[in-house]
Structure 1
Amino acid sequence: MKKAAMQKTETIEYTSTAKWLHWGMALAWLTSWGLGILAAHWRDELNPQHELTFLHKALASTLLFVIVARVAWRLKNRPPSLPESMSARMKRAAITGHVLLYIIALIALPLSGWYWSSVADKPILVAGLFLLPPLVDADPDLYDLAKYIHTWTSWFCGALVGGHLLAALKHHFIDKDNILTSMLPRIKRRAK
């Protein structure tokens, strides 16, 4: 009986590829988000020549391509099951939160920035390698609307990512389950 109980609570981890995609995209997203805030809110002090804007766009635009790989990987590789200690309502909330992160933070936010740049007739150089074609023709009349959409989507995404981080920390420190550790990279220890 004890062995069966132990098997039920066995740690199941995400694949190494899923971990690389998660943490790589998290780093790119957080860096891009921070650069975007600095570029927009401290334009005169920190971004007079728009270098931060260039870096923000170059990094954020890569997410549009990496999300394709991430979704493809996720569809072919089931994630670990959520702990049985979670209520059905909490499991639905976790799934909804992840769907919102994918759709809004990783797709809608970069698309809204691409739209804003298109309306403003400003190019986006993806990772410094190639230009994205404009989504729409330049239109100064739509500039303020495009800026508003991108700015508010950005702040909403910041709240989503913050909630995701807090939920992961709650699982680790309060619930003491394996949700956070299942996504952490394994660190190989050297043999003595």
Structure 2
Amino acid sequence: MLRNTTTAYGWVAILLHWLMALTIFGMFGLGLYMVELTYYDAWYKGSLDLHKSIGILLLGLLFIRTLWRCININPDSADEHASKFELKSAHLVHLGLYLLMFTLMMSGYLISTADGRGINVFEVFTVPAIPFAVDNQEDIAGQIHEILAWALIVLAGIHGLAAIKHHFINKNNTLVRMLKVKK
């Protein structure tokens, strides 16, 4: 089952969800590692290039994921006892996750292209820089990027804890349906 149904997520949604989640947590870890490096560390440039390349690929995946979400139905809530507040909160958290991912990736793009050079993605293609920059763009975008990265990790953690709560306390299949496709 590739597409979502009213009761389950399809393989495409599940694959995109977990691929992005694991990559984002990996990128967060790489980012924490990178900020501790100095210009003279052996992996300084390599870690930056890797972070930028993966970031651009993640942005592409985010567009694909958003498109897939728009052309698919969303499964109904797995918790038939969910209050309107819970349903609205879940919707807002998902919206927040998408907005945070997009703005985080765009701030990374603005950091990387502040000097007017594009982003070389794994030596395969280059994403061009915008033809203008603002004063202190790299520093401003860097501060925003750090704040958004922490906000995304915190919100993703809340999202994960809510799924675990639904599984163990509410005893519904909210978590399970994002782990496997219903046959």
TM-score between the two structures when normalised by the length of structure 2: 0.85
State whether residues 123 and 134 of structure 1, in contact with CA within 8 Å, keep that contact through their aligned partners in structure 2. Answer: yes
The Cα shift of 1:54 comes to 1.4
State whether residues 110 and 138 of structure 2, in contact with CA within 8 Å, keep that contact through their aligned partners in structure 1. Answer: no
The Cα shift of 1:50 comes to 2.2
Taking a change above 3 Å as real, the CA distance of residues 149 and 24 of structure 1, as seen in their structure-2 partners, is same
Taking a change above 3 Å as real, the CA distance of residues 58 and 138 of structure 1, as seen in their structure-2 partners, is same
The equivalences for 1:1-192 within 5 A come to 12-40=7-35, 42-44=36-38, 48-82=43-77, 83-105=79-101, 107-121=102-116, 123-137=118-132, 141-185=136-180
Aligned counterparts of 1:133 and 1:92: Cα–Cα separation in 2: 39
Worse overlay, 114-123 or 72-81: 114-123
Amino acid at match of 1:124: I
SS at match of 1:178: coil
Amino acid at match of 1:159: V
Amino acid at match of 2:64: A
The Cα shift of 1:181 comes to 0.4
State whether residues 10 and 181 of structure 2, in contact with CA within 8 Å, keep that contact through their aligned partners in structure 1. Answer: no
Taking a change above 3 Å as real, the CA distance of residues 86 and 187 of structure 1, as seen in their structure-2 partners, is closer
Aligned counterparts of 2:117 and 2:146: Cα–Cα separation in 1: 17
Q: Give the number of equivalent residue pairs.
A: 176
Aligned counterparts of 1:175 and 1:61: Cα–Cα separation in 2: 38
Amino acid at match of 1:86: A
Taking a change above 3 Å as real, the CA distance of residues 120 and 140 of structure 1, as seen in their structure-2 partners, is farther
TM-score between the two structures when normalised by the length of structure 1: 0.82
Residues 64-99 of structure 1 show CA distances to partners (whole Å, capped at 9, x for unaligned) of 111221111111211211122111000000000000
State whether residues 110 and 137 of structure 2, in contact with CA within 8 Å, keep that contact through their aligned partners in structure 1. Answer: no
SS at match of 1:50: helix
Rg (Cα) greater in structure: 1
State whether residues 124 and 132 of structure 1, in contact with CA within 8 Å, keep that contact through their aligned partners in structure 2. Answer: yes
Aligned counterparts of 1:47 and 1:173: Cα–Cα separation in 2: 46
Looking at secondary structure, tell me which structure has more helix per residue.
1
SS at match of 1:131: strand
